[in-house]
Amino acid sequence: MADAQNSTSRTAPADLRRDLERRIRGTVAFDPGTLALYTSDASNYRRVPLGVVIPETVDDCAAAVRTCAEHGVPVVPRGGGTSIAGNAIGTGVVIDTSRHLRAIEHIDPVARTATVQPGVILDDLREAASAHGLTFAPDPSTHSRCTVGGMVGNNACGSHSVAWGTTADNIVALDVLLADAPA
């Protein structure tokens, strides 16, 4: 286990934890119980993360990505953990957006677009859009618990993707956090 963690990080986990706790208002967890909760998703794969961050704000996300980059630690974005391909697990720091980053910021019925945070559950977006006679087309079987951010990461589709397209086919623009972005 130590070898796997050393190959993930250039610095000690204690230093990383200290820096994350200093910069983030949300939850920073390195305890065995939390790590166990994030070791799997809906796939058969298992990967123990180095740590878990549950950001309260987008600024928390940016601080977590920047801090992990400074420490040479990869990040694993996570939504609802419904991936059957292991996309929501990894040996870096898992950043779980499903708890706090769930705002549907704006729906524009004229442009037929929505601006949402990554932790928005698909069914919640569909319900809000339905008030305008709209929907978000991809229809994965996990619609009641998958998040839009996870759908973007997986390019989720569902049984009607031939007619309605995949998630990528239904995105106009993304704001993406990059490790080398200015503070």
In contact, 136 and 114? CB cutoff 8 Å: yes
Q: Quick one: average pLDDT of 65-78?
A: 96
pLDDT tens figures, 114-159? 999 999 999 999 999 999 999 999 999 999 999 999 999 999 999 9
**If pLDDT is split at 50, 70 and 90, which confidence band does 10 have?**
low
Query: What Cα–Cα distance (Å) separates residue 99 from each residue in 55, 102, 159?
Result: 8, 7, 28
Q: Is it the case that residue 96 has pLDDT exceeding 50?
A: yes
**If pLDDT is split at 50, 70 and 90, which confidence band does 183 have?**
low
Domains in the chain with CATH codes: 2-96 (3.30.43.10), 104-170 (3.30.465.10)
Nearest Cα residue to 18 out of 30, 9, 7: 30
Q: Quick one: average pLDDT of 95-122?
A: 98
- What pLDDT was estimated at residue 1? 41
- What pLDDT was estimated at residue 180? 82
pTM above 0.85, yes or no: yes
- What pLDDT was estimated at residue 7? 45
Output the average pLDDT for the chain. Answer: 92
**If pLDDT is split at 50, 70 and 90, which confidence band does 12 have?**
confident
Q: Is it the case that residue 2 has pLDDT exceeding 60?
A: no
DSSP letters for 132-179: TT-----B-TTTTT-BHHHHHHHT--BTTHHHH--TGGG-S------T
